[in-house]
Amino acid sequence: MKVKVIKKHPSEWEHQQFPAFPKGTAVKMAKAEDAQFKSWYASEIEGRETFVPESFICGGILTRDYNPTELIQEAGDILEVREVVNAWLIATNENGVTGWIPAEAVVSVI
């Protein structure tokens, strides 16, 4: 599915590129986030602070490979959606970069 960015997404971690953390990596879960980000946990993975979807964690361990890097996108950019997770999209931009963007920042393109 293709989407168009309607609201610039600067990323909370603008200068932070994360590595891909493999399935089985330990996650220190700090707390569940507020109502805006239900089912996400403020966490630490290998000494890096980030957020992790609850569905990616079981018993403090990642249940799948995970890269928390957010896409920095401008309004008008076109993305290819790979997956939808808790009101966020894992998407790939036209330069082949994959990352997270909030669903509220995009609209579907036919």
Q: What is the pLDDT of residue 33?
A: 62
Q: What is the pLDDT of residue 46?
A: 95
Q: What is the mean pLDDT, run by run of 10 residues, along the chain of 110 residues?
A: 91 71 93 72 91 93 95 93 95 94 92
Shortest CA distance to 51 belongs to which of 63, 66, 72? 66
Distance, first Cα to last Cα, the chain: 8
Total-model pTM: 0.87
Q: What is the pLDDT of residue 17?
A: 79
Q: What is the pLDDT of residue 92?
A: 97
Q: Which domains does the chain have, with CATH numbers?
A: 2-13+69-109 (2.30.30.40), 28-62 (no CATH)
Q: What is the pLDDT of residue 11?
A: 64
